[in-house]
């Protein structure tokens, strides 16, 4: 039997909803997230410190937003197609503060003609920030699409480069 629970955290990007499934992080969604599943699928609400996983996520996100962490060490689980899962896995290899284009990511995956499919999979990443889909940009350097909103993508990239204020909202 699958156990799914949720909690919420405040962050410099605004409120975040965390979803855990069977002891692994399955979702990190922002307010008005474009591909956010229905709230009913997130399971019952628990306090952030009630589940060790949520306490760990909270601690690692706090360190990230303090500028003390550039990678995450968390148990993750993804519900998606095999291709989406390959894209989401590759996102975690994009270094902190750097960007790649959708086409470059398609090349990395060995599918140079799949930049559109990479973009679609990237947009459906269920674990924002921790799986850094914000680090993927258009071929011309433009900030194209972001599930949490372009203003958050711009803020996250600026934050990682040290050029934005510590709080977006």
Catalytic positions, please? 133
How many other C-beta atoms lie within 10 A of the C-beta of residue 22? 11
- Contact in structure between 46 and 5 (CB atoms under 8 Å): yes
Three-state SS letters, 43-89: CCECCCCCCHHHHHHHHHHHHHHCCCCCCCCCCECCCCCHHHHHHHH
Closest CA to 9 of 68, 59, 64, 43: 59
């Amino acid at each position: 039997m699958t156990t799914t629970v949720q909690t919420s955290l405040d962050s410099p990007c605004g409120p975040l909803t965390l979803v855990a499934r069977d002891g692994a992080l399955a979702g990190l969604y922002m307010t008005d997230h474009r591909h956010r599943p229905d709230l009913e699928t997130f399971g019952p609400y628990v306090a952030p410190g009630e589940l060790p996983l949520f306490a760990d996520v909270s601690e690692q996100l706090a360190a990230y937003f303090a500028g003390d962490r550039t990678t995450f060490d968390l148990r993750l689980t993804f519900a998606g197609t095999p291709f989406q899962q390959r894209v989401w896995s590759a996102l975690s290899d994009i270094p902190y503060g750097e960007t790649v284009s959708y086409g470059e990511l398609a090349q990395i995956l060995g599918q140079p003609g799949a930049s559109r499919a990479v973009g679609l999979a990237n947009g459906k990443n269920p674990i924002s920030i921790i799986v850094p889909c914000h680090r993927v940009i258009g071929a011309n350097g433009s900030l194209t699409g972001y599930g949490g909103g372009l203003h958050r993508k711009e803020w996250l990239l600026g934050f990682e480069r040290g050029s934005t204020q510590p709080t977006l909202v």
